[in-house]
Structure formats: C-alpha cells, structure tokens
Structure 1
C-alpha cells in the first residue's frame, strides 16, 4: 500500500484545486520559506484524522481555509482528499483504491467521506488506527518536530512506539472499554443507591399490605367456592332453558301457520273487492240517475198542476175563439215536451200526468166550438197519438230499469254480505296472530332473561375460576357429596371475614406492587451492570496482557536496531530504550510492617504485569568521546540524530507503508545529511517517503520533486520534476 495522490482546494494557502501525484519511493517537496510546503504535510495529517487545530499550526478551524489576499477573495470552504493504492489489501476493504475526503466550512460544519460514503470522524480515526496509521505516532513528523522523540514524555514515547507497532488498535479498544466501564460503574452505583433508598420504604409497604394479602387469600378461596356453587346453578338454568326452547319453537310454528292463513284471507278479500268494484260503480250510477229523475218528477208535478189549473180555467170560460184554441195548443205542446224529457223518470207519476193531460185535451176538444177547423182537430189527435206511443215506450224502459236496479241491489247485498263475512274472518285471524305474537314475545323475553342470567353467572364463574386451582380437591369432594349447604355456610363465613377485613387502600397496594416491581427491575439491572463491568474488566486485562507481551517482545529488537543506528549516526556510543515505571505513593506504615518489599523500591522485573502497561519509555545513551548527564544538554543536531536513529530503529522492526517528514534533516550537517539520505533511500524499498526538505542530499535521492511557489495572487502553486536514475 502507498499514497497515490493528494488533492487540495481552499486548504490553507492552496486556493485553487491542486493535485500531487505520489509514486512509490521518495517524494521531495521543496520551495522557499513561506511558500506553503508544510501545508502539504498539514493536509496529510488532517486527512488521517487530526482533531486539534494547534497540531495543524493553527488556532481555529477557520485557519485551515484560504483566508484571501489583497488580490484574491477568501474561500468559504476547505477540502482535501488522499488516495491510497490498496491492491495489496493493506486496508481490510474490498477496494483496490481507498480515498478519504474531509471538508470544513467557515460556519464550522465538517463532513467526512470514505470512498465517497459519508462517515464520522471517529470512523476515519478507527479505520487508520486499525492499519497502524495515526497522528500520534512517528508516521508524520511535522515542522519543528525533528526532535519530537526526544522532547516527548515517557508516556508519549510509548504511544509513538505502540502506534508504529500496530498496538494503537488495542489501546483504542482499551480506551473504549475503560469509557464503558466507567459509565457502567457509574450506572451501577446509581442503581445501587436507588435500591438502597427504596428498600426501607418497600419493607414498610410490605408490612402494610399484609392485610391485603390475607384478603386476597380469603377472596381466592371464596371465588373457588362460588365457582363450584354457580356451576351447579348454571346446570339448573341450562335445564330450564332446555324446557323453554321447545315451547318457543311450538309458538313459532303456530304463529307461522296463522300468518300464512291470514295472508290467504287477505288475498281473497282483495280479489272480492276487485270483482265487486264494477257493480259498485254501476249501482252508484243508477242511484245518481234515480236522484236526477226524482228531481225531474217534482218539477213535472208542478207543471202538471199548472196545466190542470189552466184547463179548469179554460173550461169555465169556454173560450170559443181560435186564439184560445191556439193558446191551448201551445200549452199542449209545452206539456208534451216536458213529458218527453221526463220519460226516464218515475213511471207511475208520468203515466198519471199523461193521462190527465189526455183527458183535458179530450174534454177541451169536446167543448171547443164547432168553428174549429178539421185540420186543427186532426193535429190534436195526432199529438195525442204520439204522446200515447211515448208513454208506452217509457213504460217499457222504466220496467227494464227497475229490473236492472233490483238485480244490482241484490248483487250488491250479496257482495256486502260476503265482504262482511271475510272481514269478520280477517279480524279473527288478526286477533289470533296478536295473541300468538304476544305469546312468542313472552317466550323470547323469558329466553333472553335466562340467557342474561346464564351469561352473568358464567362471567362470575370465569372470574372465580382463575383462583380456583388450589381449592379443586375440596370442591370436588363437596360436589360429589352434594353438600351444597356446607358450601353456602363456608361462603357466608368467608364473606363475613372479608367484611371484617374491610376495604384495602388500592393506592397503597398499587404503590407496593410498583415499588416491588421497580426493586426487582433495579436488582436485575444491577446484576447485569455488574456482569458487564466484570466482562469489561476481563477485556481490559486481556488487552493489557496482549499489549504488554507484544510491546516488550518488540522492545528488545528495537533496542538492537536503535544501538546500530545510533552508532551509525554518531560513530560509536551506546543507546537503549528503557521502561520507566510510574511513580507510586510512599508505602503506609502498615505496609512497612510487612516483610514484602515496598512497591516503589521494586526492580523492573519484580513489577506486576498488569502495571507494566503503565510504564513509559526513557532514552538511555552515552555519546562517544563526550559525557552528558541529560538529554537537555544535547545540541540541536545531536537531538535530531538521536530522533532519526530512533525513527529508523522503529521502522526497521515494523515498516510502515509511508512516512511524511517535514524538514527532519534541517539541523544536520552535510555528512549526516548524506547518511540520512542513504538511509531513506535504503528504506524506500518497503516504505514510501514524502519529505519536505531544503537539503540537496535528500533531493538527489528523490524519485520526484515538487516545487511549491507563491503566486502573485498570494496562493500556493505546484510544479513537478520527475528525476531519472
């Protein structure tokens, strides 16, 4: 695995989008001071998960964004991407290329991407920590940190070594376990305090609810007895229902038959009414005609009376002249017309009126003077004959009308008689159906009452049956012996005991139950927390053992390499890395009384293994031809040489995929610079070097040179030069 490309846009002095291609081997970045060379190193550190802006040579996150110049506007966002060749599967992912991208805005928002998928910063840190790449080790040595290994505290030196050895992953797991253990312990303490707090109150509630418990026992026994008692009651009600159901069915059958019969009568009644309808209408017409004829008859009687009066008057006067005869003739014609109109009326009255008129005419005819002409006499005789003929026809018509009327009257009487009989039957059937409906409703009401009673008893039995199991043997004996009286006495006694106990404060009972449930839950939770804490402690212990074993196993080899590179750089002398045990407090007087050696006076090999993981790393060395009493007495060049010797001793034991170094050779003289160049050239076969340098010897061994310059607009620009063999 190696770095393939770094992309920058808006990051520090790199305003425009800039890309640096990284081949295998050595990449040297050169340029004048202030051009932005070290910003490339800062970008790599930032992409590997650095959180602290101070380690990126800034104060705030905004310092990572291009701030602008008098000729170029500032940027609102900084973005950088780092690409890795993963064909060797150094990273445990199924990608031949892995990329990490990080963005930050002036508003303070940040985004992180791993292979273009958005992730958390923690995910990036963990990803690189599992692969021995991080910001706390010696993978990246920034500007002014050439003697970083010298200046570090013993504990910091141990962390640098652990990271380059790949033990950082275990330390992260241990830190996470410690965090969880602390959280778990705090929770356990809170839960234990809560349990201790509610325990006295729970005991008090339990004493107060003993009365309720006795009430529950009595109520349970009573429910058991009532279950058996009401079970027998259910049997009796079922038998009563079995007797009611046949009577309901019989009433239903009778009601159905009566309803069918009533339907038949109703149909016949409708048919008779339909058949009688034409006769009824005809009779109504005749009655109306009869009324009309009676009115006409009264009118003719009045006319006849007037005619008779007139005739009497004429007879007394014996009017001889032709004028009176003409007047009589006109009166006769008028009477004839009225007779003709009255023909359909009352036959008897008309006949009598006609005969009276004829008599009057005959008498008038006899008393009329002989001067009347024969023509007038013949005319009067013809009129009389016409009148007689009309009378004959009216007699026949009246006889026919009388017969028809009589027939209709008789038919109507017969139909009315039949309708009366059918209506009588219909009313009887309606009364019978009403009675049957009443009987049916009575039976159904009885059935509903019994069903409701049965349902109530069943519900009570089900409620009682839930607490019946402990009384089944006794109840079975009572049932078999049929000793219902004893059961009733026992129920009466239990009800009395319940009454004497009285009602229980439901709120108190509920509080007791809730408190007990909470106590049980907290106790179970406390046990779970204790088990989790024990598991975490075991995990931490396992991790400590593994870290200690791998660290101490590698430390001997590292010391051998450290000695070799130290002598190479200084031409002699001795150097080694030594574990520094943490300072312990002085032993108490009680401990001093024991024969055991005080902890702070033990030798390294006598320390317990679980405490060895807390040991830091010190540097012990002696220079050739010079005696020093401490690292602070070393010159800048000597400090750099020791740091370089330590660095190469570490990477010779556990070669990292790449190293990013910023002017680590700045304090070296020409001879040591050449040695440094030879070292990185030899190690570049297994480790890729990206190094910012001003040293010609380092440039000469580089495979590619990147020059960083500051453009007129104040932004950094990159030029590249690929070197031949």
Structure 2
C-alpha cells in the first residue's frame, strides 16, 4: 500500500483545486517559508480524522476553510481527498484502490466518504487501525512533534508502541466489552432494586382496593364544583374586557382627530424651518469659500518659499552627482581584476571533485559485492514475512468473526429475553389451563375407578339389560376422558412452542458457542506458527549479522569519502557564489553609473520647471485677493434675512407645544385602557391554561354552562371545601389495587428469570474482556522488546556509538504503564532525553521512528522539517536511512536541506505566485546522462526543458532563481 495522490480544495491556502501525484520511494517537498508546505501535512492529518483545530494550527475548525485574500472571496467549503493503492490488501477492503474524502462546510457540518460512499468518522478510523496511519499514529512526524514525543509524559508516548503492536482495535473492543459489562451490572442492580420494590408492593396491595369507588365519586364531584368556580370567574373577566374595549375605541377616535391637527401644524413649521436651514446652509458655504480662499493664499505663499529653497538644493545636488560618477568608474575597473582570480580558484575545486567521485565509485562496488551474500537469507526472511502477513490476515478475519459471534450471543440473549417478556402472559395462561386439565383428568379417573369397583360388586345381581346400560355409561365416560386428554396434549404442544429455548440454540452442536470454540482453536494454532516463523527469522538475521558488520565498515569509509566530496563541493559552491557576487556587483555598479547620469539630466530639467512654477504662483495670489472682497459683501445681506424668519418660527412652536400636551394626556388614557383589556385577556387565558393543565380538557367546551350558573362564588367555594375535606379523610387510595396485585406476581417471576440470565451474560463478558487484555498485553510486550532492541542499534548507528534505553515505569500493568527514554551519546553519561541538545533530540526521535518502522512500517510517512536541527554529517546518515527504508515505505520529506533534496527520487515544489494562494509543481528526478526533465502537475502550465546537472540531482543557479521551491 502507498499514497498515490492528494487532492485539496478550499483547505487553508489552497483556493484552487490542486492534485498532487506521489511516487513510491522518497519525495522531497520544497518551497520558501510561508508558501503552504505544512498545510499539505495538515491536510493529510485532517482527512484521516483529526478533530483538534489546535493540532491543525487553527483556533477553530472553521479557520481551515480558505478565508479569502485581497483579490479573492472566501470559500464556504474545504475538501481533501487521498487515493491509496491497496495492492497488498493492507486495508480491509477488497479493492485495488481506495479513496478517502473529507468535506467541511462553514456551518460546521462534516462529511466523510470512502470510495465515493458517505461514511462515518468511526468507519474511517477503523479502516486505518494498526497500519501506522491515523491522527495519532506515526505516519506524520512534524518538527514540533519531536518535542512532543521526547518531552511529553511517559504515558503519552504509548501511542507509537500500541500502533506498532496492532492493539488499537483490541483496546477499542476491550472498552466496548467493559461498557457492556458496566451496563449489564447496572441492569442487575436495577433489577435487584425492582424485585425488592415489587415484593413490598405485593404485600401492601390487598388493603387498598376498598376505597376506590368512593374516591372516584368524590373526585367527580370536585371536578364539577371546580368547573363551576372557573366558569364564574371567566364570566366576570369577559364582561370587564368588553366594557374596557368599547371605551378604548372611543378614545382612539379622539386621538386620531388631534393627530391630524398636530400634523398640519408640523407641516407649516417644517416648511419655514427648511427655508431658514437653506439660507443658513448658503451662509455656511460662503464662509467656507472665504476660509478656503484664505487657506489657499497662505498655501500658495508657502509653496513659493519652498520652491525657491528647492532650486538652491538642486544646484548643490547636481555638483554631488558629477563627483559620484568619477568614483564609480574607478571601482568598476578594480572589480574586473578580482573576477579573473576567482574564476581560476573555481576551476581547481572542480578537478578535486572528479578525483573524489572516482574513489566513491570504488567503495560502492565493494559494498555491492558484499551484499550479494546476504540476499539468499533475506529472500527466506521475506518469504517468512509473507507467510506471517497471511497468517496475521487470517487471524484478523477470525477475530472479526469472533467479535461478530460475541455480538450475536449478546443480541440473541436480548432478543429471546424480549420475546419471553412478550409471551409470559400467554405462557402463564396455558400453564394454568394445563394444570386445571390435569386435575380434572385425575379426579375423573378416580371417579371412574370407584364406579368400576362398585360395578364389580353388584354385577352378579344385575340382569343382562342393566349390565349393558352400565357398560355403555362407562364407555361414554372413557371416551369423554380421551377427548380431555387430547385437549391437554394440544395445550401442552402450544406451551412448548412458546417456552424459552434459546439456551439450546447457544450450546447446540452447530450453535454460536460451538462456533466460538472452533475459532478460538484456530487463532491459537496461528499464534504457534507465528512464533515458529519468528524463531527462524531470528536465526537468519543472526547469520546475516557478520556480513552486515563488514558492509557497515565499507559504508563508514564511503561516508568519509562523501563527506570529503561534500566539503569540497561546499568550497566550490562558495567560490562560485563569490564569483556570482562579484559579477552582480560589477553589473550593479555599471547600472548605478547609468542611473546617476539619468538622475543628473533629470535634476537639471527639474530646476528649470521650478522657476516657471514660481512665476505662475505670483499671478494666482493676485486673483485670490479680489475674490475674497466680493464674498464678504454678499454674506452681510444673507445674515439679515435669516434673523427675520427665525422670529416667525418661535410663535408657531409655542402653539404646537400646547397641542402636544393634550396629545400626551389622551395617550395616557389609551394606554391605561389597553392595559386593562390586556390584563383581562391574560386572566382569561390563564384560567383556560390552568384548567387545561389540571384536567387536560378545554374550558371553552363548557362555555354554554357559564351563563346558567346562579350560585354565588362564595357558596361554590364552601361546597368545594366540604367535598375536599371528605376526600382527605379517606387518605391515600390506589385505584388499580386488584389489577396491580396480579401484575406484581407475574412481574416478580419474570424479573427473577431475567436476573439469572444477566448473571450468565456478565460472566461471559468478564471472560472476553480478560482474554482481550491478556492478548493485548502479550502483543504490546513483544513489540516493545523488539522496538527497544532496534532503538539501541539505530541510536548507535546514528550517533556513531553510545547507547539508548526504553524503560517501562510499571511492569505489572503494561497496558497502562508509561515509557521513559534514556540516551547516552558517545562520551556522555546516560541521562534523560530532556537534557539533550536540539540536534541530539532530533536524532533520538529519528532513531525511535525508524526503530518502530523496523517492527511495523507505515505504508507512507510525512516528515516535516525534522532535519532542521541536524548538521551535515547527521544529514547524510539520515538520508541513508531514508534510502534503506524507502523500499518498504513511502517517505514525503518537507525540507530546506540540499543533502536531503539530493537523496530524493521526486521533487515536489510549492509556490505562492499569487499572495495567499498556494500552488504546487512536481519534478521527477530522472538521471539520464546528467539530464533531468521536470514534469509539472496538471493544473500548472506544462513546460519541457533540459537542465544540465553535475551529479544528476542539484539544480543550477538558473533553475534556483526560476522556481523558488527548487
């Protein structure tokens, strides 16, 4: 299984739909800071089920939807989909290719899809169980998560080991079994309390049935009396409401007439006020014009002074520019001499690189020759691994069948209990009928036996006719007894048909319990075979150990040669950079000299233009003075007209104030009447609602009776008090006492049977939970020991010595125990990882990651700038590890390091040509005679070009400047 493609739309900075195709092996994801590289990692985490916005570097989940830029509108949806190749059927779906999609709307609604079909989050998570892929798995390792792995609490590091051990699904199933067990125990406690309560009810119900008839009669009288009381009160409120409504309509007409008078007065005042406002606005405009002219005059005078000062400055600047031009000409000549020296130094470094390349080629041939001896054993190990995978897959299928059978047992028990509960009354009726028939047959049989005895004594004294009559009578009785027996047989057959027999279904030869035992035996056989394969693989690995150490010696020598080559290349790059700097400086100085010449001509022209502007300003100042005198005369005439019209408006305001006071008084009366009507309506509505709440009946259905009541309300209340006193004297009454007594007996028998069934179910659930925890602990311990050994070896390889340890904090409870990490770099003491440097911490995290991959590799892995804190030598070790594990897993590395880029098979570029919008390009490295052909993604313009490389991997200066990600 590997990641084939990633499609993103509307997620963070991906405003357009972008599809990124991935290849097996190692891919390097490149781009400048802030262009959206880490958004790709966030998209992978999000699509496989991440629910924490903080883990996605957002405040809320809505923040991950593209929020727009200066030139683009925000989007309303974010969508990410990944396509996975499932050739090895690592994922439990019988299809060669699987697409997982997640969609989020701004409303907060989430949607998940598996191969185009809508799914639940639980189904997506279950799909990736124990594969190393998921929101909490080790398929994504970011620079920030290095500190999380190494600095978090020991209990929080368990997820790496649990995912590698493949016990994630076991933990979930164990939690589900524990929840079912807790629910079963809770049901048992409830049934115990119910049985005790039913028993007490059984003993108390006999004495409660006598009061029922009298109680119901009194309750009916109370209802009739309270109904009369409610109807009298309703009649009072209805009459009060009608009286206030009529008075309200009268006052409302008076208010409308007064409003019309006020509106006419307001219209006249508004016209006069508009005219005054218009004159005042005109006066203000004139004042603004006059003030503007004064400001303009001051500005022109200041501008004239500034222009004169600018002319003097230009003269001085022209003299400075002429001096700079002479100095730059001398500097350009000196730089050209230095350029020749740097070109000779660069040629020498190129010759040394070719010599080191020849040595590296020799060591590569030695390593390949030694590796041929290892291949035979590795092939056997691979075959064993294939068999182990097949057995593991079969075991997984068997465990799924086991889970399904366990669930079927619980469902069967629940279903049969429900059926028994529904049929208990019919079963009890049949049982009573059968008992009566048995008693009747028994009594009838005894009576006929007595008759036969009497007949035997009197038979000699009877004549033939009497004997025949007696025989016929006995024959008829026996036939009746035979019919009664047949009826009993039919009743018994019906009783057997509805009797609970589901325990037979469980323990039958082909029942679910038999199927479960058969699957348990198959799982045990698979476990034995896996241990045999593991022992054989360990023996083969030991035989390969000696050969691996010899290869390691060659590789160390080869690393030293590559380090020397890298050092020379760095010096060569420095010389090339210095040469490029010199050339850019020469070009810059020449361009600067040209700029000075252009600037000198421009300043001379500007000096002439400034002189002309000064003459134009003097003419404008004279014209402004003349406009100011005319405006002052017009403003004096306008102020006199405004004063006269303001006096007329004051008299109209006084008359309008008197009308407003009358209006307020009338409005107050209307409000009081409206409140009275509303209060009556509220009282009527409250009476209806209260009556409905008490009796669940509509008071208006008795409206015809409201006007027939002649009793005063005091007499009705006295009558109600008397009836309630009689009812209170009865005490508590159980209206259904006889019926409840029979129901309680039946319920007690049924609950006792249910309790026994729950006891059996609890026993099974406890056993299943113990089995799951035992198996999970064994898987975890095996995986932990293998990772512990691999971690020590990987640490020594990355650090060139030293040692590293993993320790369980609580060996008695391995499923809850934290895991502590200790590291001892060469030359230091064994210490907790919190005391290591940044580079040492990164190497330790990388060692732990690849130690986990040696036990159970993830199909694909995203590494986000985890090499940022590593030096050049450690980078080379890191790249070598990636190449080794790249055959089993797919690595996508986000990096800025040239050595890491050089080790990649595919280069993925991320750019931000438009501000705030991420785009992507891909370059597949095809080292054919030193030529690389870039292949761009479908949504980018395709350009085919050939770029020459020294080693087939590094981009030249021209490509670096053309594509920022490269």
Instruction: Tell me which interval the TM-score lies in, with the shorter structure as reference length.
Output: 0.5 to 0.7
Distance in 2 (CA, whole Å) between partners of 1:688 and 1:624 is 31
* Native 8 Å contact 2:29 2:893 kept in 1: yes
1:160 and 2:160 matched: yes
Paired residue for 2:75?
A: 75
Q: Residue 27 of structure 1 aligns to a residue in which SS?
A: strand
- Write the distance in 2 (CA, Å) between the matches of 1:706 and 1:102: 23
What is the Cα deviation at residue 162 of structure 1?
Answer: 1.1
The change in CA–CA distance for 1:573 and 1:514 in structure 2 (over 3 A counts) is: same
Match of 1:693 among 895, 898, 901: 895
Q: Partner residue of 2:249?
A: none
Picking from 748, 766, 771, the partner of 1:542 is: 771
Distance change (3 Å), C-alpha of 1:476 and 1:653: closer
The residue that corresponds to 2:790 in the other structure is 561
Does structure 2 conserve the Cα–Cα contact (< 8 Å) formed by 1:680 and 1:689? yes
3-state SS in 2 of match to 1:145: helix
Cα distance between partner residues in 1 of 2:742 and 2:112: 51
Superposition TM-score, scaled by structure 1 size: 0.55
**Take 1:528 and 1:52, find their aligned partners in 2: how far apart are those partners?**
43
Residues 31 and 37 in structure 2, CA contact (< 8 A), matched pair in contact too? yes
Q: Which residue of 2 aligns with 1:530?
A: 759
Describe the shift of the 1:131–1:144 C-alpha distance in structure 2 as closer, same or farther (beyond 3 A).
Answer: closer
Q: SS state of the match for residue 531, structure 1?
A: helix
1:711 to 913, 924, 927: 913
1:102 aligns with 2:331: no
Aligned twin of 2:443: 474
Q: Name the one with the larger helix percent.
A: 2
Contact 2:823 2:832 in 1 (8 A): no
User: Does the C-alpha gap of structure 1 residues 620 and 197 become closer, same or farther in structure 2, counting only changes over 3 Å?
Assistant: farther
Q: Is the 8 A contact 2:907 2:924 kept in 1?
A: yes
Equivalent-residue separation in structure 1 for 2:131 and 2:115 (angstroms) = 16
Tell me how far 1:613 sits from its aligned partner. 2.0
Q: Mapping of 1:121-520 within 5 angstroms?
A: 121-205=121-205, 467-475=436-444, 507-520=736-749
CA RMSD of aligned residues (A): 2.7
* Equivalent-residue separation in structure 1 for 2:855 and 2:434 (angstroms): 79
Tell me how far 1:657 sits from its aligned partner: 1.2
Distance 2:195 2:19 in 1: 63
Task: Look up the SS of the partner of 1:624 in the other structure.
Answer: coil
Any idea what the Cα deviations from partners look like across 1:259-279, whole Å, max 9, x if unmatched? xxxxxxxxxxxxxxxxxxxxx
Q: Of the candidates 799, 814, 818, which is equivalent to residue 570 of structure 1? A: 799
1:38–1:143 contact (8 Å) kept in structure 2: no
Spell out, residue by residue over 1:562-621, the C-alpha distance to the aligned partner (whole angstroms, 9 max, x if none): 11111122222111211111xxxxxxxxxxxxxxxxxxxxxx4xx3xxx33222211123
Aligned match of 2:65: 65
User: What is the rounded CA distance, in whole Å, between the counterparts of 1:523 and 1:709 in structure 2?
Assistant: 73
Partner Cα distance (1:67, 1:650) in 2: 39
Counterpart residue number, 1:620: 822
- What is the CA–CA distance in structure 2 between the aligned matches of 1:617 and 1:671, rounded to whole Å? 30
Give 1:579's aligned residue. 808
Shift, 1:208, TM fit: 9.7
Summarize the Cα distance change of 1:522–1:665 in structure 2 as closer, same or farther, 3 Å threshold: farther
The change in CA–CA distance for 1:204 and 1:649 in structure 2 (over 3 A counts) is same
**Pairwise mapping of residues 646-661 of structure 1 onto structure 2 (< 5 A)?**
646-661=848-863
Q: Distance in 2 between matches of 1:73 and 1:555?
A: 51
Which of 842, 856, 872 lines up with 1:640 in the alignment?
842
Can you list the C-alpha shifts for 1:186-233, whole angstroms capped at 9, x where unaligned?
333333333333332234458999xxxxxxxxxxxxxxxxxxxxxxxx
Q: Which residue of 1 aligns with 2:868?
A: 666
CA drift at 1:713: 4.5
Q: How far apart, in 2, do the equivalents of 1:473 and 1:524 lie? A: 31
Post-superposition offset of 1:691: 1.8
> Is residue 148–residue 643 contact of structure 1 (8 Å, CA) maintained in 2?
no
The Cα of 1:688 is off from its aligned counterpart by: 0.5
Number of matched pairs: 424
Structure-2 separation of matches of 1:679 and 1:556 = 21
**TM-score, structure 2 normalization:** 0.42
How far apart, CA to CA, are the structure 2 residues paired with 1:576 and 1:101? 40
Q: In structure 2, the residue corresponding to 1:664 is in which secondary structure?
A: coil
Residues 518 and 466 (structure 1), Cα distance of their counterparts in 2 relative to 1, 3 Å cut: closer
Counterpart-to-counterpart distance in 1, 2:437 and 2:170: 61
8 Å contact from structure 2 (residues 821, 832) kept in 1: no
Deviations 1:650-683 (A, max 9, x none): 1012122111221111111121111111111110
Q: What is the DSSP-based 3-state SS (H/G/I as helix, E as strand, rest coil) of the residue aligned with 1:40?
A: helix
Deviation string 1:276-321 (CA, Å, 9 cap, x unpaired) is: xxxxxxxxxxxxxxxxxxxxxxxxxxxxxxxxxxxxxxxxxxxxxx
User: Looking at CA atoms only, which structure, 1 or 2, has the larger radius of gyration?
Assistant: 1
Give ranges in structure 2 of 5+ residues lacking alignment: 210-431, 455-733, 928-966
2:913/2:919 contact within 8 Å kept: yes
Contact 1:139 1:164 in 2 (8 A): no
